[in-house]
Each structure stands twice: as structure tokens, then as C-alpha cells.
Amino acid sequence: MFDLSSKVIIVTGGGAGIGKAISCSVAALGATTVIADINMDVAGAVVEELTALGLRATAIETDVSRSASVENLVNKVIKDFGKLDVMINNAGILGDAEIVDITDEDWKRFNSVNLDGVFYCCREAVRAMKTRGSGRIISIASVGGKLAFPFAGVYYCAAKGAVMALTRQLAIQVAKYGIQVNAVAPGTTQTEMVKHRSPEKMDYIYSRIPMGRLAKPEEIAAPVVFLASDAAGFITGETFDPNGGLYMA
């Protein structure tokens, strides 16, 4: 079992879906868990669940698409807890519109959350971590960033592919500061984000996955926990692929 009891960890979008699973997983292993979410109702509910179990968790309202909001998040964490050990960039939005139906505003909105938000969080995390000579940054990408998939919009896939490129390049730049940067690219996961899809689309997705099912959020949280732990001390610039064997199909 991994011990995260000495870690201060931020989870963006940590109030629901994969983010909630990550928040609960790292908190259960002892981390001081900061749930950074634009929706304080869901974030607050998770904090209540965790504190009721005697775990350490707090919520900070954060809009990752705004650099000032991210700067405020990291500054408050440093003020309240004295350090930041792990930044987990999970906040994101999913869309599957055809390119001819994507407006300029749609394109900007998806990139502002899915890519700009990761950049802002990485930048503030590096600023906080480099003087300490250690830290971890873990970003949630997607199979859509690597694999052509008919039910994900180009605005989503382009941003997620860029997150993986950002991960590799940033890992090279900050290794000298003792900061490790990795990503996790989940396959389709059982969350509210995919419930709008029709049975026909879901049947197609199942048919593409050798294991024949979607991931559970906890199964995506597991490699994130590993990357946040001391066991991953010699891993950087990598993207982990929990996808039920999708790349083999």
C-alpha cells in the first residue's frame, strides 16, 4: 500500500467522476487533499465525505481556464499548508460535435479548460516546487489524444494530444529541479460525462475494447496514485494507458 501521508496534493476537477475517485484515493492514503473545482457544491460534498472518515481534505473554488484563479489556488495552498507536493490536472470537459458545428467560441472554451488549464496549473506548480527541489505533476489526458475515435470532437482530441506533448516537453525542462511530470490517458470511463451517448454508440465503444467494458473511475485513479507515490521515483515524461486493451484491438 502506498503511503501519501506526507503529501499535499491538489486535484483539479476533484469533485466528480475520475477526479472524485482520485481525491478519495489519495485522501485514503493519508494525503492532505485539496479539491480544486469550479462547482463548490460537489467539491464540498466530497470534503464532507472524506472528513467524516477522519481524512484530511479541503475545497477551493477554482476555474482552471483563468490563470488568476489557478495562481490564487496555489498561493492559498502554500499559505495554508506550506508546500505543494503533487499537482493532479484532472479538470476537463468532453464534447463530440462535428467540426462544421464547432463555433469559434466552442473551440476557445474547450481549449481554455482542457489545455490552457493544464498549462496554468503546470506553470504555478513548477513555481511552487522548483525551490524545494521536488514535486510531481500528473495530467489526465485521453485515448482520444492518441487514437482516432468517432465519438470525440476534434476540439477535445486536439487538446488531449497537446497535453501529452506538454507532459513530455515539461518533463525534460524541469527534471533538473527534481520535478517529475507524467500523464494518464484513460479509455472510456463510467462517469456522467458519457451518459449522453446513445446505446448504439456505447455498443460500438464496447466492441472496440478487448475487455468488453468501460473503466471504473477507481481504475483510472490507481495509476495516478502510483505516479504520486515514492514508488514512481524514476518515472518522468511518460503517459500511462489504462484502456482495457484498446490499443491492441
The beta strand positions in the chain, using DSSP E, are 8-12, 32-37, 57-61, 86-89, 135-140, 179-184, 239-240
User: With 80 as the cut, is the pLDDT of residue 1 above it?
Assistant: no
Percent residues over pLDDT 90 in the chain: 86
Q: Which of 18, 55, 49, 19 is nearest to 35 (CA)?
A: 19
In CATH, the number for domain 8-243 is: 3.40.50.720
Predicted pLDDT of residue 201: 82
- Least trusted range by pLDDT, from 43-52, 71-80, 110-119, 141-150: 141-150
- Least trusted range by pLDDT, from 93-97, 164-168, 224-228: 93-97
Compute the mean pLDDT over every residue in the chain, rounded to the nearest whole number. Answer: 95
> What's the rounded Cα separation, in Å, for the pair 38 and 12?
9
| Residue 33 near residue 110, CB atoms below 8 Å | no
Confidence of residue 114 (pLDDT cuts 50, 70, 90): very high
Q: Residues near 149 by Cβ (< 8 Å), separated by ≥ 6? A: 143, 157
Q: What's the CA dihedral at 21, 71, 2, 214 to 10 degrees?
A: 30
User: With 80 as the cut, is the pLDDT of residue 193 above it?
Assistant: no
Predicted pLDDT of residue 198: 79
Please tell me what DSSP assigns to residue 245: T
Annotation marks residue 155 as catalytic: yes
> What number of residues does the chain have?
249
Q: Which of 45, 49, 62 is nearest to 10 (CA)?
A: 62
> What's the rounded Cα separation, in Å, for the pair 42 and 11?
13
Q: Residues near 159 by Cβ (< 8 Å), separated by ≥ 6? A: 110, 111, 114, 115, 145
| Residue 217 near residue 159, CB atoms below 8 Å | no
> What's the rounded Cα separation, in Å, for the pair 213 and 40?
31
Catalytic residue among 120, 155, 156, 177: 155
Predicted pLDDT of residue 249: 66
Per residue in 195-245, pLDDT tens? Answer: 777 788 888 888 989 999 999 999 999 999 999 999 999 999 999 999 999
User: With 70 as the cut, is the pLDDT of residue 246 above it?
Assistant: yes
Q: Which of 128, 122, 227, 239 is nearest to 173 (CA)?
A: 122
Per residue in 28-67, pLDDT tens? Answer: 999 999 999 999 999 999 999 999 999 999 999 999 999 9
> What's the rounded Cα separation, in Å, for the pair 79 and 99?
44
Q: What's the mean pLDDT in 76-80?
A: 98
